[in-house]
Structure 1
């Protein structure tokens, strides 16, 4: 596999990174360039790759033996697993330059950066050499001409002022999963992150907020006007919306809940009443619920709905009317594997299982974890004193609330489940450029 001498970096976003054995180790998220004291274009020193568990690491350009828009292949050697941190004399090409408003000489034509090319010299050094700039037209709905210019002919690339838009960076990030996009936002300066978050549509922003640390959720929500913030909360799952509102002062909670549609706000208000660390506080109030006279075919059609998470779609809860929580009398549940084995015309009332005691709203989290592990369940029903289904605790809820509070924060040290921040190891960080003893041998 040959490497072209010129590579456009935006086309590398999300490209898979492979070791010499053909095993995927992560995906490209950005390129790192080192600024020079002269007017020479910045030198590209490596790529940023995202590995499983959202860890971003630095890949030295000297370790890469093949790079193109289809795949990046590493050579043999030790892979440094230290978390990537940008140095003061470096820039992240996509995060820092995409959408920057610049001027192209001669003539001083204004435009926005849509891509940057890195080029390899005869000596093997990679530098940022060309910039793709879309001209600003000033006419609504009309896209300007796309120009390519040498790095030295573009003014405004190294300025630190707020001269960036959002459209092109959003286009690069649009195919990411919400968790990956949330991770990418954490790499950006606060103002840039909030600007990009605000540019997302309500549904996409709701999904991303659910994957961010609490302090980032609160800051982004605070940057929206209250009507928009209420709209975003309506798009979130009630349990995620309740978790976010719990981070706000009670007066602000009330304002946002009053701005939400009543049918969206009511389940969130109910969840906010439960004691933290109990089944009521971590459950979803919108599991899949059907009456006993529904057929197996109807249940299978319901769990196929694409907006359902895998944990929620793994089972159907059966109850008497009404079908919204709190329901009528709870009867039991049917796992999707049982649905696949039964004739489509059979009724759920004939295949329902009720041999496992449901949770109560005040059941503590350790007991929930123990019972779900004992019975190998991905969800458990929660009923009130009147035997009405009020929600379900799913395995992702349990994991989310069992991990350390700051587990989504990429700056937090790695810890085991249940280990407090005070128990985190101490010590001085090691430079990401140093080899890591015992690392992954490519």
Structure 2
């Protein structure tokens, strides 16, 4: 179905609400209480009917029985309506109950905004007649517009924005589940989704969490980006099984911090529900002071014998798809005693002779720290030596893990700086739903 529409044919949802509904014989039947749309994989949500208040009851009127959506009173093609009470079906969205006056995600600015009005438009250029939801007005109405139900189009015809720029938080679980494959959240970056969670209400958070829960990797990435208080609060609201599933997909260092933020009586039960490998990584980190290099380091790193070739090292990088990309910016070399002997950046590897030895291209005796090194010293070393990754070694000079620059920054930034409002982001452009 084509969803092309002309602005002159737009219909304001606020002006439609409360409008009288009249049968074919001209007699008043009731008043418009809500409009029903159904989400689709492509294009705009299609209007399937309306909910009418008839004698104190809410009744369903199919869209096909509406003769003229723009008339006042709203004209039907029949003199009678079905007197069975309206019951919402899966996938149906009620524009008044679910969207109008509620907050939506503006995917261009990645902020929560309120829908103060909605625009409907007739479908044209198609054999199938009907109406679709095409626009959202996020500007609050003035007092006189609210009193007289005056449309904003009369004041500013370009005020509404295309529906494709928004993601609605409907809150109706069956409709959310049907809509999940259509979600535009996958276009956002995980820090942006985390910001939305931190700004959301309890109900909005619940729906956002339900959405990301469908993708375990995304869910874990989002939890890693949350501020510690928000992360702890949201994890405490989950069952031990769900917390274990989230932690199992998080980086071991972040998972260890999150585990320690749980009440003490929940830590062991959560670990018992985690996969053996993930739980073992956590135990190896929990023995370190959280304000030390050992407590900050990540276990993901790539190390090969110094006799390996450059080609071997590049093959190892290609195969390390389960490791954090930040940890792969530097590859380490070790000797027969497993002691750290060298470090080489990924760019240097790519530019080197594939047949050359790792020991030849790697920087000998790289800067490293022990697990007890405090965080200020870590930050100073990474700054002085322009390091993206800093290795952490044990007393025998064997590699334990690495500290990435983003983790070092997060750990050393003063708390007020971390909580300051970030600057305005560039618009996040998305494709039009009707294109």
**Residue aligning to 1:343:** 353
- 2:310–2:357 Cα contact (<8 Å) kept: yes
CA shift in 2, pair 1:255/1:131, >3 Å: farther
Deviations 1:371-396 (A, max 9, x none): 11111110111001121110111101
TM-score, structure 2 as length reference: 0.58
Compared CA separation, residues 290 and 5, structure 1 to 2 (3 A)? farther
- 1:66 maps to none
In structure 2, runs of 5+ residues without a counterpart are: 20-44, 52-59, 63-85, 101-115, 123-127, 135-168, 423-435
Out of 176, 191, 195, the residue aligned to residue 203 of structure 2 is 191
Aligned residue number for residue 183 of structure 2:
171
Structure 1, unmatched stretches of 5+, are 9-32, 41-97, 118-125, 133-144, 152-159, 322-326, 416-442
1:413 to 1:337, Cα distance in 2 relative to 1, 3 A: closer
CA distance in 1, matches of 2:223, 2:230: 8
Quote the offset at 1:296 in angstroms. Answer: 0.9
Q: Does 1:356 align with 2:336?
A: no
Tell me, yes or no, if the aligned pair for 2:171 and 2:203 is still in contact at 8 Å.
no
Verify the 8 A CA contact 1:231 1:260 in the aligned structure 2.
yes
Is 1:112 equivalent to 2:126 in the alignment? no
Displacement after TM superposition at 1:352 (Å): 2.4
Matched, 1:205 2:256: no
What pairs with 1:95-174 in structure 2 (closer than 5 Å)? 104=51, 105-107=60-62, 108=86, 110=88, 111-113=91-93, 127-130=117-120, 148=131, 163-164=172-173, 165-167=175-177, 168=179, 171-174=183-186
The Cα shift of 1:162 comes to 5.2
Q: Which has the higher helix share?
A: 2
- Counterpart Cα distance in 2 of 1:195 and 1:215: 20
Please say if 1:241 is aligned against 2:196.
no
> Do the aligned partners of 2:14 and 2:117 also contact (CA within 8 Å) in 1?
no
TM-score, scaled to structure 1: 0.57
1:274 and 2:284 matched: no
Q: Deviations over 1:72-91 (max 9, x none)?
A: xxxxxxxxxxxxxxxxxxxx
Does the 8 A contact of 1:330 with 1:387 survive in 2? yes
CA contact (8 A) 2:343 2:366 kept: no
Instruction: Name the structure 2 match of 1:301.
Output: 315
What is the alpha-carbon distance in structure 2 between the residues aligned to residue 248 and residue 39 of structure 1?
50
Q: Compared with structure 1, are the counterparts of its residues 183 and 306 closer, same or farther at alpha carbon in structure 2 (3 Å cutoff)?
A: farther
Matched residue SS, 1:377: coil
Deviation at 1:347, TM superposition (A): 2.2
3-state SS, counterpart of residue 338 of structure 1:
helix
Counterpart mapping for 1:5-404 below 5 A: 5=7, 39=18, 104=51, 105-107=60-62, 108=86, 110=88, 111-113=91-93, 127-130=117-120, 148=131, 163-164=172-173, 165-167=175-177, 168=179, 171-199=183-211, 200=213, 201-304=215-318, 305=320, 308-320=323-335, 328-404=338-414
The whole-number CA distance in structure 2 between the counterparts of 1:150 and 1:176 is 23
Q: For the residues of structure 1 that align with 2:129 and 2:391, how far apart are their CA atoms?
A: 56
1:261/1:306 Cα in 2 relative to 1: closer, same or farther (>3 Å)?
closer
Distance in structure 2 (CA, Å) of the matches to 1:222 and 1:173: 24
Task: Note the C-alpha offset of 1:205.
Answer: 0.4
- For the aligned residues, what is the CA RMSD? 4.1
Query: Based on CA coordinates, which of the two structures has the bigger radius of gyration?
Result: 2
* Greater Cα offset, 384-393 or 249-258: 249-258
CA gap of 1:351–1:35, structure 2 versus 1, over 3 A, is same
